[in-house]
Amino acid sequence: MNFSQTPQEKLFLEMIRAFAEKEVKPLAAEIDEQERFPLETVKKMAEIGLMGIPFPTQYGGAGGTNQIYSMCVEELSRVCATTGVVVSAHTSLCCAPIFEHGTEEQKMKYLPKLCSGEWIGAFGLTEPNAGTDASAQQTTAVEEGDHYVLNGNKIFITNAEYAHVYIIFAMTDKSQGVKGITAFIVEKDFPGFSVGKKELKMGIRGSATCELIMENCIVPKENLLGKVGGGFKIAMKTLDGGRIGIASQALGIAQGAMDETVKYTKERKQFGRSLAKFQNTQFQLADLEAKINCSRLLVRKASWKKDEKLPYTVDAAMAKLFCAETAMEMTTKAVQFHGGYGYTREYPVERMMRDAKITEIYEGTSEVQRLVISSNLLK
Ligand code: CAA
């Protein structure tokens, strides 16, 4: 495994960290409070090439690695988890399946607009009755002449309200079970497509999570992604990559909470000395620091394997599971270290704790990650 970075990559990462501090951190509390999608930040991220990091320059990407992309999501999430997931859902769940399964025409049509940030991407798999059991898709796609007609609803779709392109999964042949699911590239202006109710959430409140509604939605045949009946595998492979993105987001949240806690425990004095001088603080922080470093190694390994085109399904599941649980533990303890102040919005740790929770749920719950890991172990 090679974790070293080229001088160019080092500079890129320094630039991302400076950008996160200067442009993302100051807005984090405001977009959370107002449940506002950070469109102005997306525009700025697009200008500096953050909306298509791991894709070749011929498609408008930055030509970077998945490791660098993962570090970018980590750095953004360290200061604002909403901004981290906007980039992760766009890149891993929309650009990546088009890049990995699209025809040359589809890649040339969609990737330059997505990678430049002119368009934002989203992914529509989850339905009211198909959450963890993603195979229970009820959205249908019926072939009619030169197009398909889609009917159904998707829920909990990250970026939904501001996206221009959606990867949508629908049943083309119910009798075939999971082999009857097909993927489509759907544009927001296709007839019969609309964005529905916006969810009011506990955390990542700026990320515009909505329902998608398809009522006799007309999708041209050239927008079929991959093969008819190949949609479930595309969904699973896409989620393997997405889980690296969410693991990176969780790692960033944990690191952000650690940074805040180190600062606070050095400053806050009780019983005549700083909290950092108490062995209880030192031992707890040492354990958490070790877990954050384990998280980082798991994410780096999974992204390195993706870069090397090695199988990484289980690595991504382990990274997501461990990073998400570490983020939850770190942020909960960060609030505890901050005491009463930690429970107020004066300090960012309460937001971080609310943001951390979703990393144990979306793109496969922690239980799904345990299923993926154990089924490989016991096969
Ligand atoms: N890569 C390639 N193929 C895969 C695969 C993978 N990672 N995982 C499964 N498959 C294939 C299997 O090989 C099998 O194909 P064959 O029959 O040809 O062998 C087929 O898919 C079915 O596999 P399973 O029998 O294992 O499928 P299952 O129905 O038992 O489901 C599951 C397994 C792990 C529970 C899966 O359904 C799953 O991951 N569920 C969670 C879904 C999820 O993460 N949803 C989040 C949606 S996105 C989101 O959160 C919103 C957002 O906007 C961010």
Residue nearest to atom 20 of ligand 1 (CA): 233
User: Does ligand 1 have an atom closer than 6 angstroms to the CB of 373?
Assistant: no
Asked if the interface predicted TM-score (ipTM) of this complex is over 0.90, the answer is yes
Residue nearest to atom 19 of ligand 1 (CA): 233
pLDDT over threshold 80, residue 83: yes
**Which ligand 1 atom sits closest to the C-alpha of 372?**
34
User: Does ligand 1 have an atom closer than 6 angstroms to the CB of 210?
Assistant: no
Residue nearest to atom 43 of ligand 1 (CA): 364
Tell me the per-residue pLDDT of 120-172, one tens digit each, with 9 for 90 and over.
999 999 999 999 999 999 999 999 999 999 999 999 999 999 999 999 999 99
Ligand 1: which of 201, 233, 244 to mutate, most ligand atoms within 8 Å of CB?
233
Q: What average pLDDT does the segment 347-362 reach?
A: 98
The residues carrying an active-site annotation are 363
Ligand 1: which of 178, 204, 371 to mutate, most ligand atoms within 8 Å of CB?
178
User: Does ligand 1 have an atom closer than 6 angstroms to the CB of 371?
Assistant: yes
Tell me the per-residue pLDDT of 193-226, one tens digit each, with 9 for 90 and over.
999 999 999 999 999 999 999 999 999 999 999 9
**Reduced 3-state DSSP string for the chain:** CCCCCCHHHHHHHHHHHHHHHHHHHHHHHHHHHHCCCCHHHHHHHHHCCCCCCCCCHHHCCCCCCHHHHHHHHHHHHHHCHHHHHHHHHHHHHHHHHHHHHCCHHHHHHHHHHHHCCCCCEEEECCECCECCCCCCCCCEEEEECCEEEEEEEEEEECCHHHCCEEEEEEECCHHHHHHHEEEEEEECCCCCEEEEEECCCCCCCCCCCEEEEEEEEEEEHHHEECCCCCHHHHHHHHHHHHHHHHHHHHHHHHHHHHHHHHHHHHHCEECCEEHHHCHHHHHHHHHHHHHHHHHHHHHHHHHHHHHCCCCCHHHHHHHHHHHHHHHHHHHHHHHHHHHHHHCCCCCCHHHHHHHHHHCCCCCCCHHHHHHHHHHHHCC
